Amino acid sequence: MSDSFTALSGRKVVSQTSAEELGDVAHIVIDVKRHKVASLIVGKGRKALVLDWDQVGGLGPDAVMVADESALHAPRNDHENAAADGKLELIGKRALSDIGNDLGELSDVRFDPNTGIIESLALGEREQSAESLLGAGSYAAIFLNDRA
């Protein structure tokens, strides 16, 4: 069963130890080379925290579970700061082929909620395989051109 970035956005993050709500998922960051969710950004602005994917204890339809508050940390480098600022968010990003053709706008990303592996990316009504994603930055996501 898959989950999607649009469904995950806004989901509560809850501590399994204290049962306290720690914030809401604001952004999802991927590791393009591994085609996997790298981390979740919890909260917004200066209070945004990073939740590394390996710290996710469970992912349900209503909440993301973590062991405790220590699973979240402040951004530690420029990449995590850019992610916390929403600059690496894929949804709504322009999609370009590797030869410069406009492919539309990224509307969603489907992933395995157990492993974080990206399954497909939606460009409007069209699905693109995760393997075709070559890179993602603040301006656009780049996809391998289908020359067939």
**Structural domains of the chain in order of their starting residue, each with its CATH number:** 3-84 (2.30.30.240), 94-143 (2.30.30.240)
Size of the chain, expressed as the number of residues it contains: 148
Q: What is the pLDDT of residue 74?
A: 96
Query: Minimum mean pLDDT among 9-13, 92-96, 112-116, 142-146: which range?
Result: 142-146
Q: What is the pLDDT of residue 146?
A: 63
pLDDT reported for residue 96? 94
Q: How far apart (Å, rounded) are the C-alpha atoms in residues 63 and 15?
A: 10
Q: What is the pLDDT of residues 81-140, one digit of tens each?
A: 999 998 888 999 999 999 999 999 999 999 999 999 999 999 988 999 999 999 998 889
pLDDT tens sequence across 53-74: 999 999 999 999 999 999 999 9
Is it the case that residue 28 has pLDDT exceeding 60?
A: yes
- Is it the case that residue 148 has pLDDT exceeding 50? no
pLDDT at 147 over 60: no
pTM for this structure? 0.90
Cβ neighbours of residue 21 closer than 8 Å, sequence gap 6 or more: 12, 13, 14
